[in-house]
Amino acid sequence: MPYLLLACQLALAVTLLSAATGKLLNTEQFLNALRLSRIPKTLVTPVAVLVPTLEMCLAVGLILSTPKFLPFIIAATVGLLGISPYGWPSSPPLDCDSNVDALAQQVLTSVLARF
């Protein structure tokens, strides 16, 4: 049983590190996705900094935490993963029906799916 928990911790940590790295490497795309989300415009930049930082901290916590603090790290990770879908839509609405807008919506949906 301890090996299963360790495997889950490592898989979740790798997932969080991958997500944070993707957001940091594609900052402009992440900012554009946040701008199209339901969060207030004044919170876009703080969220763009906070989310990858929090993901990295939780990933490190999952790997290095002691058994005493592990439940808190896991609860924070589940909380972050639980609120993520409510922060930005999976397919933002676009008003025009042109081919360019359809292509932009496909690209935007694929970018949002990675985050």
Mean pLDDT calculated for residue range 100-108: 53
- Domain map of the chain by residue range? 2-89
Condensed to tens digits (0 to 9), the pLDDT of residues 66-97 reads 889 998 998 898 888 877 655 554 445 444 44
| Contact yes or no for 39/89 (Cβ under 8 A) | no
* Buried residues in 39-69 as b, exposed as e (16+ CB within 10 A): eeeeebeebbeebbebbbebbebbbebeeee
How many CB atoms are located within 10 Å of the residue 15 CB?
Answer: 15
- pTM, to two decimals: 0.70
26 DSSP 8-state letter? T
Position 106, amino acid? Q
